């Protein structure tokens, strides 16, 4: 799975270069607090679907999430499928379930912020990267 995540990172690195998009597990000093709040909100509602875990269904669902200045998700774009609809649907359900994660950092003057996150399912565990 690590190799698949790395290939996704290379594939989407041009989005990061534009300046208003980050990968979730970056060492971004400016957005660090915002990213941790988002991660905490996700882990509060995200689950590994029982049917998928029991049947050994694994995969990574990469998504691009757009936030407004209040930290509300305004758009969710599934960048690729994990290969399992049940996993992809759980990612979308999770992102629709979380509320605002707080405002942008001071000094960030754009109206939107984009985040690329990798929702990974494997070995009856889940991890967000």
Distance CA 88, CA 54 (A): 17
pLDDT for the residue 32:
87
Strand pairing of 59-68 and 125-128? unpaired
Tens-digit pLDDT string for the chain (129 aa): 566 667 766 776 766 655 678 888 777 777 889 999 999 999 999 999 999 999 999 999 999 999 999 999 999 999 999 999 999 999 999 999 999 999 998 888 999 999 999 999 997 678 877
Q: ∠46-99-9 over CA atoms, to 5°?
A: 55
Task: Write down the pTM of the prediction.
Answer: 0.86
Residue 115 has a pLDDT of 93
State whether residue 114 is helix, strand or coil.
Answer: strand
What pLDDT shows up at residue 28? 75
Q: What is the pLDDT, as a whole number, of residue 10? A: 73
Token readout for 45 is 């509602």
Query: What integer pLDDT is reported at residue 31 of this predicted model?
Result: 87
pLDDT at residue number 19: 65
Question: What's residue 24's pLDDT?
Answer: 84
Q: Which residues contact 8 (CB under 8 A, 6 or more apart)?
A: 60, 62, 79, 80, 118
Instruction: Go through the domains of the chain in sequence order and give each one's CATH number.
Output: 2-128 (3.30.2420.10)
Q: What is the token pair recorded at 111?
A: 């109206």
Distance CA 100, CA 98 (A): 7
Residues 6 or more apart whose CB falls under 8 angstroms from that of 11 comprise none
CA distance 49 to 57: 9
pLDDT the model gives residue 85: 97
Neighbour-count burial of 87, counting CB atoms closer than 10 A to its CB (0-12 exposed, 13-18 middle, 19+ buried): buried
């Amino acid at each position: 799975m690590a190799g698949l995540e790395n290939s996704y990172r290379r594939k989407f690195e041009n989005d990061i270069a534009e300046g208003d998009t980050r990968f979730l597990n970056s060492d971004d000093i400016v957005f660090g607090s915002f990213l941790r709040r988002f991660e905490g909100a996700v882990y509060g509602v995200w689950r590994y679907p029982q049917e998928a875990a029991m049947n050994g269904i694994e995969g990574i669902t990469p998504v691009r999430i757009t936030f407004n200045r209040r930290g509300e998700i305004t758009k969710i774009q599934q960048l690729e499928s994990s290969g399992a609809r049940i996993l992809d649907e759980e990612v979308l359900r999770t992102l629709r379930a979380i509320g605002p994660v707080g405002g942008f950092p001071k000094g960030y003057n754009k109206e939107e912020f984009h985040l690329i996150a990798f929702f990974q399912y494997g070995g009856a565990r889940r991890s967000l990267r």
